[in-house]
Amino acid sequence: MTATLITNIGELTTNVARDDDPCGTLQGAAVLVSRGRVAWVGLAADAPRLTDAETPPAAEGRIEVVDAAGRAVIPGFVDSHTHLVFGGDRADEFEARMAGQAYAAGGIRRTVAATRAASDDELRRRLAGFVRELHAQGTTTFEVKTGYGLTVADEERLARLAAEVTPEVTFLGAHVVPPEFADRRDEYVELVCGDMLRACAPHTRWVDVFCETGAFTPDEARRVLTAGIAHGLAARVHGNQLGPGAGVRLAVALGAASVDHCTYLDDTDAAALAASDTVATLLPGVEFSTRQPYPDARRLIDAGVTVALASDCNPGSSFTSSMSFMIALAVREMGMTPAEAVWAATAGGARALRRDDIGAIAPGRRADLVMLDAPTRTHLAYRPGVPLVAGVWKDGARLD
């Protein structure tokens, strides 16, 4: 088993909070990785002597030393919200939007038609391409939602295919009401809460609902989430994306791990979030791609809300998987400091997925790390659009 010492790290973001630094930043640091986990973190000058036969990794054989040469290292990005199993794309819709057309939930039905028409192998190939894309950009954990099948068989197959690439799979049968149920929405909700949920639950950890005008009402959303919870799934919610609504309050009331979008919030929503364990996951790729106002991250953080950043990568509202881009948008448009944005894209995502094995660089955590071709994490926002990922380790193995 190979052990790795990454040393001469100019700036290490551990996310182990210290004093007034939630990022637990260390200058001149080193990280020792062994058996897929972080074994030691500290100043480079104090790094374990790898030639010492008594040092456990040395006893195991080969030790690789990586000289970061003053570059920054951060935890791997945790993208807690994606929709990566789908067929087709909607570039034409994006183009129309950039020419002034508004985004509406109904576009989802076009992707549903294309996804139903795609074979398992096509979807699998596409998914594998996305996984390569995510890894290359430093995302080491990602969630994937169903929601473009909307029949029992199609939702089950999307959940199954997603489970081949990540343990974080979310059942989103309640994405929109499919056209064949247009006049029978109550029957569709019943199907989602019954046969569809039963078929998908074995492949999924989460249940989600799009609680929004044009998608599902708060009452319908509550039914779906309650049924999912009764099947052993944990809840997450798409809420307050296109306008004010009950999504946030419902998520908090049901103990959801996260409520995602949070673009249109009132003071009651912010207060409810602050008093809860529900993370507010902000998805600025959506506001970028739909020309909506950005969520007010500053207000949420100042109110004491835990904020995560995610890509929402999907063919309609945000067709990007770049967490660096989310960080740049959050800093430029949402009032977050670079440190807050990097924390939200790593530790915040881990909180949104209720994972305590990822999102930080500390002994015992999974060795998911990203080395940047930059001296500090601030460069992720300071140099937008520039590929700054110089090395990625997942479970201690180098991916690039």
Instruction: Indicate whether 108 belongs to the interface with ligand NIG (CB under 6 A).
Output: yes
Among 55, 204, 314, 376, interactor with ligand NIG by CB under 6 A:
314
Q: Are 359 and 13 in contact (CB under 8 A)?
A: no
C-alpha closest to that of 310 among 277, 273, 285: 285
Q: Nearest distance from residue 120's CB to Fe ion, in Å?
A: 23
Measured in degrees and rounded to the nearest 5, phi and psi for residue 207 equal -120, 140
Q: How far is CA 213 from CA 36, 85, 114, 241, 247, in A?
A: 45, 24, 23, 10, 11
Q: Nearest distance from residue 142's CB to Fe ion, in Å?
A: 13
- Picked from Fe ion, ligand NIG, none, the partner binding residue 279 (CB below 5 to 8 A depending on kind) is none
Which one-letter DSSP state was computed for residue 393?
Answer: E
- Picked from Fe ion, ligand NIG, none, the partner binding residue 286 (CB below 5 to 8 A depending on kind) is ligand NIG
Count of CB atoms situated within 10 Å of the CB of 49: 9
Q: How far is CA 191 from CA 152, 371, 374, in A?
A: 8, 46, 51
- Picked from ligand NIG, Fe ion, none, the partner binding residue 170 (CB below 5 to 8 A depending on kind) is none
Residues 300-329 that bind Fe ion (CB under 5 A): 312
Q: Nearest distance from residue 58's CB to ligand NIG, in Å?
A: 48
Q: Are 363 and 41 in contact (CB under 8 A)?
A: yes
- Under rule CB under 6 A, how many of the chain's residues touch ligand NIG? 13
C-alpha closest to that of 42 among 3, 7, 77: 7
Q: Nearest distance from residue 15's CB to ligand NIG, in Å?
A: 26
Nearer to Fe ion, 243 or 304 (CB): 243
Among 31, 211, 286, 310, interactor with ligand NIG by CB under 6 A:
286
Q: CA quadruple 232, 126, 79, 269: dihedral positive or negative?
A: negative
Instruction: Indicate whether 208 belongs to the interface with Fe ion (CB under 5 A).
Output: no
Instruction: Indicate whether 111 belongs to the interface with ligand NIG (CB under 6 A).
Output: yes
**Amino acid at position 144, single letter:** V
Binding mask 180-219 for ligand NIG (x = CB under 6 A): ------------------------------x---------
- Residues near ligand NIG (CB under 6 A): 83, 107-108, 111, 210, 238, 241, 286, 312, 314-317
- Residues near Fe ion (CB under 5 A): 312
